Amino acid sequence: MRLTVVGAGPAYGDQPGMLGACYLLESRDEAMALDLGHGAFAGLASRVAPEALVTVFVSHLHPDHFVDLVPLRHWLRYHLPVPGRVRVDGPADLAKRLDALHGEPGFTAVALDVEPLVAGTRAVGPFTLELARVRHTADSFAVRVTCGDGAAGLVY
Ligand SMILES: [Zn+2]
């Protein structure tokens, strides 16, 4: 499993390149992202085809961790010759939050398949996600990602 730090900045920055959280994980020819914070989409899209992500894991609903799902949604809807869809493993209120941000019911559902986070283990493509609640917002999760290659994995 290979980790690329796309963005690791704070909630705001005063220097170019200080992007919201986004970590790209690749295993063989499949990829997922951990969070997609402000400004991170272009860096992600320059490294992998966004429509090919097996999931975007969203840890919690602070904008520096999820707001670039908006450009991902637009990419899937308008950039591709045939509109695409991407799975998002995120907090239960994620779609409601994005819909409200854009003032458009159904805004999220046209391109993103949100799977609500619950504690436990789930398989997504080649990745195994072990989810556990953590204290931060009312609905925040940590994740341990492994991919069956014998490596220890990554905890986020
Ligand atoms: Zn936060």
Q: What is the tally of structural domains in the chain? A: 1
Measured in residues, the chain has a length of: 156
Domain assignment present for residue 128? The answer is no
Higher pLDDT, 10 or 21: 21
* C-alpha of residue 102 to centroid of ligand 1, in Å: 21
- CATH number for the domain harbouring residue 112: 3.60.15.10
Residue span of the structural domain in which 67 resides: 2-117
Domain assignment present for residue 153? The answer is no
Domain assignment present for residue 124? The answer is no
Contact 73, 36 (CB under 8 A): no
Q: Write down the pLDDT at residue 28.
A: 87
Q: What is the pTM of this model?
A: 0.96
Domain assignment present for residue 63? The answer is yes
Alpha carbon of residue 4 to chain centroid: 14
Domain assignment present for residue 139? The answer is no
Q: Write down the pLDDT at residue 63.
A: 95
Q: Write down the pLDDT at residue 50.
A: 98
53: pLDDT strictly greater than 90: yes
**Residues with Cβ–ion distance below 5 A, ligand 1:** 62
pLDDT tens for 85-116 read 999 999 999 999 999 999 999 999 999 999 99
* C-alpha of residue 60 to centroid of ligand 1, in Å: 7
Domain assignment present for residue 108? The answer is yes
